[in-house]
Amino acid sequence: MSQPARVHAQPCLFSEDADGRSERMGFGVLKKREGEQIENSNLKEKEILVLPLDLTDTSSHEAATKAVLQEFGKIDILVNNSGRSQRSLVLETNLDVFKELINLNYLGTVSLTKCVLPHMVERKQGKIVTVNSIAGIASVPLSSGYCASKHALRVRQPKLCA
């Protein structure tokens, strides 16, 4: 059996779509969800902070970031892993669906990254990982809004290095 990754030694902030409707942000390598147990881990309860966060409510991102910094003093890694898909023909899809996809999949990720990035720049240390989709490169049938939002992430993420 392989050894567990030691990423948990570094404060790691990640956003993850828990159920397709409520986007959450958690702190740590492992995150407890309702009803789940943390098994096979050296993490202790005090090393994990779970904060409810609606990624589309960008006004809440700064406060959530400050709460994590207050609890742990630093954020070494941000993993953006939230997203929602869509399956429908463009002609049959309400414009609001496209707006929601862009707000969650793109703007929510940008906002959370912008909240964490100044802390990393100040410390001259940190990593940002954005989990994306092949749909951001090659379009997928019935998913034009999803593909557009993932493409936006694809072209934006490398620009953080500049």
Give the residue with greater pLDDT, 52 vs 91: 91
Pairing status of strand 23-27 against strand 12-17: antiparallel
Please confirm, yes or no, whether 106 is among the known catalytic residues. Answer: no
- Catalytic residue of the set 15, 146, 153, 157: 146
Q: What residues are paired with 49 via a beta bridge?
A: 27
Looking at domain 7-161, its CATH class is alpha beta
Tens of pLDDT, residues 32-73: 344 445 454 555 666 677 777 888 899 999 998 998 898 888
What are the residues whose beta carbons fall under 8 Å from the beta carbon of 32, sequence distance 6 or more?
A: 38, 48, 50
- Taking the domains of the chain in order of start, what are their residue ranges? 7-161
> What sections of 51-108 are H helices per DSSP?
61-72, 95-101
The dihedral region occupied by 25, where left means phi > 0, alpha psi between -120 and 50, and beta the remainder, is beta
pTM of the model: 0.73
Tens of pLDDT, residues 102-151: 999 999 999 999 999 999 999 999 888 888 888 778 888 998 888 888 88
